[in-house]
Amino acid sequence: MKSLAFGVTVLVVAFSACGSAGSDASSEKEGTSMNGTKYEKATFAGGCFWCMEPPFEKLDGVIDVVPGYTGGRTEDPTYEEVSSGTTGHLEAAQITYDPSKISYRKLVDVFWTQIDPTDQGGQFVDRGPQYETAIFYHNDEQKAIAEESKAALDRSKRYDKPVVTRIRPLTAFYEAEDYHKDFYKKSPVRYKSYKFFSGREPFLEKIWGADREAGRAEAEQVYKKPSPEEIRQKLTPVQYNVTQQCGTEPPFQNDYWNNKREGIYVDVVSGEPLFSSKEKFDSGTGWPSFYRPIDKDNIVERTDSSHGMVRTEVRSANGDSHLGHLFDDGPEPTGLRYCINSASLRFIPKEDLDSEGYSEYKILFDD
């Protein structure tokens, strides 16, 4: 992005990357709340931060994407200082997102499709420690998700070299100069030329190919709720009572409370993926318990004041099925317990994921 010695003038212009310093950098902004929703932040370093804004800004649930610097020693660094490679900072993008609309796990998935995670010395034509890749986690839950995702990507053997992207705690994040923000909108020709001739776009197309578009389609897949008539025909009386009438099945007398097979649990109504056996634990309650969902986008939390108590109800996002309740007495790394009715779930063994149409989740079980 910064120092490209090409003989063709138009390429040199396209590659003179992020230019010279502009406005002063600023410190990390706090999360904001709107309509009762607490926004969260995610921070990724993927080489040139010009290329980190577009893939995230177009995602539903992303509020803002800001380029900046993080991970180093220098306070309020300028672009020139970071570019020298002496500050310890990496070029990064900080994303503010609505967790009720998009999950951190999905943001991590998008991040992997934008970088070469096997490159220790920079990214594509941009060399130096300031262009290394990293996931900067904001809390322990993000750390656990990032580590699990990195391990799964490594096991997938998509690359012929090991994944070396570091997972680091976020300290301070300093916003980049204004002229770097939304560069792909301000200078679209220069941006597209840089992304292609730097080697990033050809590499991503080679590694991900059709999977890159398929992954986007999967991320946008909508699991629909059947008609009331179809639901009545499809469900048993117990399943109907639980999912449609907010009933509760008896503990220790249900299908999955003691199920120890590997696989995923989907909404019995819509089929949307909800939980994995990898995050299932024995809570001693007699109901299936998980410390986090597969994808938070498929979960909706609502306040439940029934039976003289105030609890957090858990429902499926697309099927609108009552699943159970959420408690804060679970194990690490989340401290949460999703207490779920078996009657709300259908279990897909890992060996049946292909035949059932859930191939993308096989990666969860690659040891």
Instruction: Catalytic residue, from 18, 48, 51, 246: name it.
Output: 48
**Catalytically annotated residue among 18, 51, 246, 339:** 339
Residue 223 has pLDDT above 80, yes or no: no
Ranges of each domain in the chain: 9-219, 228-365
Residue type, 280: K
pLDDT of the residue at 171: 93
Query: Is residue 246 among the annotated active site residues?
Result: no
CATH superfamily of this structure's domain 228-365: Peptide methionine sulfoxide reductase. (2.170.150.20)
The token duo for 25 is: 């950098």
Residue 221 has pLDDT above 90, yes or no: no
Residues 249-278: b if buried by 16+ CB within 10 A, e if exposed: beeeebebbebeeebbbbbbbbbbbbbbbb
Tell me whether the CATH fold assigned to 9-219 matches the one assigned to 228-365.
no
| DSSP codes of every residue in 277-342 | GGGEE--SSSS-EESS-S-GGGEEEEEE-GGG--EEEEEETTT--EEEEEES---TTTT-EEEE-G
Q: Is the pLDDT of residue 251 over 50?
A: yes
The pLDDT of residue 336 is 95
- At 151-163, the pLDDT tens digits run 989 888 889 999 9
Checking if the pLDDT of 282 tops 90, the result is yes
pLDDT band at 124 (very low <50, low <70, confident <90, very high): very high
Task: Note if 48 is an active site residue.
Answer: yes
pLDDT of residue 211: 62
CATH architecture of 9-219: 2-Layer Sandwich (3.30)
In DSSP terms, 126 is beta-bridged to 123
Helix (H, G, I), strand (E, B) or coil at 184: helix
